[in-house]
Chains A and B, each alone.
Chain A
C-alpha cells in the first residue's frame, strides 16, 4: 500500500538528473515530452487530477479537451493516421476508461498507434468497488494490443516507455496504461529513465526484415505471371511514406494492375492508369473481377478481410497468392496463401523492387497486354456511373463534385460509416497516403467528426473535410463544442438522406423492405445547430445549390457545417451480396431480382 506523499513543487527539483525526484504525474509528462509527444487528447476526472495539475504547471504539451472520451480516442486516431505519430489519450477511471473502449477497439481493428493513459483508484482500493472504479485492464485486455496496470511507482517510467514502443512498433495498435492515483502522487526517481529506455525494446521485437529467399521466390512468381494483380492495404500506409513510394515504383516497373483496400487508398494516386479502384464489397467491378480471374496475386499489407473476399471458398480460386504482412497471424488466417512473408511492407517492397528489376526482361509483356484488354472490358461496364439530372442531388454527385472542387489541393478526408463512406471511397480520389481516415475494421459511426479534429490538430493550415452521414454525425455531435473552442476550421459535409443508408439498403435487399428503426427521425436543423456553436452553417437543397455551397465551404476560414440534402433511397453499388463470391456483384438496382441472398448469406454481417 503506497502512502500518498506531498507532491514536490518545482522549486525542490534539482537539474542533476542523477537525483531528480518528481511525482508520478510529473514523470508521466516528462516521459511523454522525451518521446516528442506534442498533443494529448483527453478529459479530466478525479483519478487523473494529479496529471492535469502537472499539465497545468508544466505547460509543455498541448491538451485538447474533448466532450466525450470516445471522441478523445477517435481524435487521437485521426491525428495518428494523418501524421504517422502515436496518438496520446488521457482519461479518468471508471466511466472515462469505459467510454474510451469503442475508440480503442477501433484502433485495434485498424492498427492505429495509440497510447491511452487511464486514471485508476488508489492501489489499496482496487477491487473494493470504489467510486469510479472499473477493471480497466480486464475490460480493455481483448480490445487493445497490450495493457498495463502500474502498481508500483518504480514501474511507472519503464512501463510508459515500453507501452509507447509496443504501440508504435510492428503492427501498430492501442496500448492502455492504467495509473492508480497514489502512483501519480508517489515520488519517482528520474535517474532510471536511461535504463528504462533500453529495457523498453527488449521484450517486444517484431520481425521487420523479411527473408531474402522468400522475396526472391516472390519475385520469380511475379514475373512468371500472365494475369497478375497487386492488392495493397493499410499496412503500406502504416509502414511509412517510403513504403508507398516503393509500391509505386513496383507498379511503374511492372505495369501490373493494382487495387487497394479501403484502408490503403492513397498509396497509389487514384488517377494512375494502373489503379483499378478499391476492391471488396463495394469495390469496383474491374477490381473484383481482376482479383477473381488473376493467376498471381501479390498482397502487401492487407489482411484478406471478409469485405474483400466475399465467400472464402470461392475467392480467386485459380491464383497463386503471395502475402507480405508484418503480422504472422494474419497470414493463412482466412485464405490459404502459397507464399507467406513476414516483414515490414516498406522494407519488403524495396527488396522486391530490387529483385524484380533483375528479372524485368522475364515479364510476359504479351500476356500482360492481353490481361489489360480483359480489364478494359470490365472497366467499360463503368460500374460507378450515376445519373445526376434534375433538382434532387444524388449522394454520389455530392461527393464526386466535392472531389472535383478539391482537386489540386492537399485535402484530408475523414468519414463516418455507411453508404456515404463507401461513396467517398469510390468517388473521392486520393493521391498520397495519410490523407484518408476512415473506420474500416470496426465501422464505428461517430468516428469522422472527432477524427477530423485530430487530423486538423496534426495538420494545421490544411483543409480537413469530414464526409458524414446525418445519423453518424449525431453520434458524436457534442464535439462541435471542441471544434468551436479551438476554432478548428474543419469542414463537416453531411450527406443527409434522412435514413441510416446502409442499414436501409440491407433491409431493402435482404429483409423484404422492412425498414425497422432505420429512419433518422427528429433531425435538427443543421444550419441552426451550427449557429448554436458559433460556426457557419450552410445547406444545399437542390442541385444548383451545390457548387456555391461547396465553394463557400472551402473558402471559409473557420469551421463550417454543411447539410447536403440528397436523394433518400439511393443504394450503393457495386455490391457483393452477403454470402456471394467476389465475382458475383450486383451492379445496380435491376440486378437484385436475379440473385437472392442465400440462407447462409443472411447470417453474415
Chain B
C-alpha cells in the first residue's frame, strides 16, 4: 500500500490472543503483508502455559475502515481466540523496553550516566569504556533516550516493540485455569 501522508489515518494498538502453535505468528504476519496492512510494531510471548496461549501486541496504522478490516480478518484466523482493540476500548498503557549499549569515554561517559539517571534507566553492564542501559517507557521516551545517546558515542539498540494492556478493572484476556474451555 502506498505510504502517502493520509490525514485520516489513525494508529491503533491491538492485542490478539492466539493458540501457541507453530506457524501462528506467520499467519498473522502473512495476513498483514498479504493484504498490505501496516505493522508499526509487533511483539509476542506466551501468557498462559497451561492453555497454550500467546498474546500478540500489534501497533498498526490505517484509515478507520482499514482498521475494522484488520480486526475482522484477524478474527477469521482459526487459532485466534480474541482480538482486542485497546485504542478503541479507551484508556490503556503502552510500554516498550530497550537495551542500549553506549561506547564512550571521558565527559561523554559522565553525561551519558547523568542522562540515564534522568530517564530512570538501569545500568546492566559496564566496562571502562561502555555501558549497557535498560530503559522502559513509552516509545517516544525510548526514542528520545536513544537520540541523546547517539550524540554521545557509538550506540547499539535492541527494542522489544510495544506491549499494551487496558487500564481499569476489565480483564480482556483472562488467564484461565486448565479445565475451563475457551469461549
Q: Using a CB-CB cutoff of 8 Å, which residues 124-164 of chain A contact chain B?
A: 137-138, 141-142, 145-146, 149, 151
The verdict on A141 contacting B27 (CB below 8 Å), with A202-B181, A329-B69, A333-B69 known, is yes
Nearest-CB residue, chain B, relative to A171? B76
- Taking CB atoms, residues of chain A closer than 8 Å to B22 are 149, 151
Q: Let me know if B65 is at the binding interface, CB within 8 A.
A: yes
How many angstroms between the C-alpha atoms of A333 and B65 in the bound complex?
Answer: 7
Determine which of B23, B75, B77, B181 lies in contact with A328 in the assembled complex, contact meaning CB atoms within 8 Å. Answer: B75
Cβ distance B62 to chain A, nearest Cβ, rounded Å: 13
How many angstroms between the C-alpha atoms of A142 and B32 in the bound complex?
Answer: 11
Q: Let me know if B68 is at the binding interface, CB within 8 A.
A: yes
The verdict on A329 contacting B72 (CB below 8 Å), with A142-B34, A202-B181, A202-B182 known, is yes
Cβ distance A603 to chain B, nearest Cβ, rounded Å: 13
Check A141–B69 contact: CB distance below 8 A.
no
Q: Using a CB-CB cutoff of 8 Å, which residues 152-179 of chain B contact chain A?
A: none
- Taking CB atoms, residues of chain B closer than 8 Å to A151 are 22
Nearest-CB residue, chain A, relative to B66? A333
Cβ distance B84 to chain A, nearest Cβ, rounded Å: 16
- Taking CB atoms, residues of chain B closer than 8 Å to A202 are 181-182
Q: Using a CB-CB cutoff of 8 Å, which residues 60-102 of chain B contact chain A?
A: 65, 68-69, 72-73, 75-79
How many angstroms between the C-alpha atoms of A336 and B65 in the bound complex?
Answer: 9
- Taking CB atoms, residues of chain B closer than 8 Å to A142 are 30, 34
Q: Let me know if B5 is at the binding interface, CB within 8 A.
A: no
Q: Let me know if A56 is at the binding interface, CB within 8 A.
A: no
Q: Using a CB-CB cutoff of 8 Å, which residues 118-142 of chain B contact chain A?
A: none
- Taking CB atoms, residues of chain B closer than 8 Å to A141 are 23, 26-27, 30
How many angstroms between the C-alpha atoms of A202 and B19 in the bound complex?
Answer: 13
Nearest-CB residue, chain B, relative to A141? B30
How many angstroms between the C-alpha atoms of A587 and B30 in the bound complex?
Answer: 42
Q: Let me know if A327 is at the binding interface, CB within 8 A.
A: yes
Check A327–B76 contact: CB distance below 8 A.
yes
Cβ distance A388 to chain B, nearest Cβ, rounded Å: 46
- Taking CB atoms, residues of chain A closer than 8 Å to B65 are 332, 336
Q: Let me know if A203 is at the binding interface, CB within 8 A.
A: yes
Which among B76, B79, B182 has the greatest number of chain A C-beta atoms within 10 A?
A: B76
- Taking CB atoms, residues of chain A closer than 8 Å to B72 are 328-329, 331, 333
Q: Let me know if A166 is at the binding interface, CB within 8 A.
A: yes
Check A137–B23 contact: CB distance below 8 A.
yes
Check B75–A329 contact: CB distance below 8 A.
yes
Check A329–B23 contact: CB distance below 8 A.
no
Q: Let me know if A204 is at the binding interface, CB within 8 A.
A: yes
Q: Using a CB-CB cutoff of 8 Å, which residues 29-57 of chain B contact chain A?
A: 30, 34
Interface size on B, residues (CB 8 A): 19
- Taking CB atoms, residues of chain B closer than 8 Å to A331 are 72
Nearest-CB residue, chain A, relative to B19? A203
How many angstroms between the C-alpha atoms of A166 and B23 in the bound complex?
Answer: 17
Q: Scoring A residues 97 to 139 as 1 if CB is less than 8 Å from chain B, else 0, what string do you get?
A: 0000000000000000000000000000000000000000110
- Taking CB atoms, residues of chain A closer than 8 Å to B77 are 146
How many angstroms between the C-alpha atoms of A497 and B73 in the bound complex?
Answer: 42
Check A166–B78 contact: CB distance below 8 A.
yes
Cβ distance A550 to chain B, nearest Cβ, rounded Å: 45
How many angstroms between the C-alpha atoms of A477 and B76 in the bound complex?
Answer: 37
Nearest-CB residue, chain B, relative to A204? B78
Nearest-CB residue, chain A, relative to B34? A142
How many angstroms between the C-alpha atoms of A166 and B79 in the bound complex?
Answer: 11
Nearest-CB residue, chain B, relative to A143? B34
How many angstroms between the C-alpha atoms of A91 and B85 in the bound complex?
Answer: 41
Q: Scoring A residues 178 to 203 as 1 if CB is less than 8 Å from chain B, else 0, what string do you get?
A: 00000000000000000000000011
Cβ distance B55 to chain A, nearest Cβ, rounded Å: 17
How many angstroms between the C-alpha atoms of A327 and B77 in the bound complex?
Answer: 12
Nearest-CB residue, chain A, relative to B27? A141
- Taking CB atoms, residues of chain B closer than 8 Å to A146 are 77-78
How many angstroms between the C-alpha atoms of A151 and B181 in the bound complex?
Answer: 24
Q: Using a CB-CB cutoff of 8 Å, which residues 274-320 of chain A contact chain B?
A: none
Nearest-CB residue, chain A, relative to B183? A205
- Taking CB atoms, residues of chain B closer than 8 Å to A145 are 78
- Taking CB atoms, residues of chain B closer than 8 Å to A333 are 69, 72
How many angstroms between the C-alpha atoms of A137 and B34 in the bound complex?
Answer: 16
Cβ distance B111 to chain A, nearest Cβ, rounded Å: 49
- Taking CB atoms, residues of chain B closer than 8 Å to A336 are 65
How many angstroms between the C-alpha atoms of A204 and B68 in the bound complex?
Answer: 21
Cβ distance B19 to chain A, nearest Cβ, rounded Å: 8
Check B68–A332 contact: CB distance below 8 A.
yes
Cβ distance A474 to chain B, nearest Cβ, rounded Å: 31
Which among A141, A145, A327, A329 has the greatest number of chain B C-beta atoms within 10 A?
A: A329
- Taking CB atoms, residues of chain A closer than 8 Å to B68 are 332
The verdict on A329 contacting B76 (CB below 8 Å), with A137-B23, A138-B26, A141-B27 known, is yes
Nearest-CB residue, chain B, relative to A146? B78
Cβ distance A343 to chain B, nearest Cβ, rounded Å: 15
Q: Using a CB-CB cutoff of 8 Å, which residues 7-32 of chain B contact chain A?
A: 19, 22-23, 26-27, 30
Given contacts A138-B23, A142-B34, A146-B78, 9 further A-B pairs with CB under 8 A are: A137-B23, A141-B26, A141-B30, A151-B22, A166-B78, A328-B75, A329-B69, A333-B69, A336-B65
Q: Which residues of B contact A (CB under 8 A)?
A: 19, 22-23, 26-27, 30, 34, 65, 68-69, 72-73, 75-79, 181-182
Q: Which residues of A contact B (CB under 8 A)?
A: 137-138, 141-142, 145-146, 149, 151, 166, 202-204, 327-329, 331-333, 336
13 A-B residue contacts at CB 8 Å?
A: A137-B23, A141-B23, A141-B30, A142-B30, A149-B22, A166-B78, A203-B19, A203-B182, A328-B72, A329-B75, A329-B76, A331-B72, A333-B72
The 8 nearest A-B residue pairs measured at CB = A329-B72, A146-B78, A328-B72, A329-B73, A142-B34, A204-B78, A141-B30, A142-B30
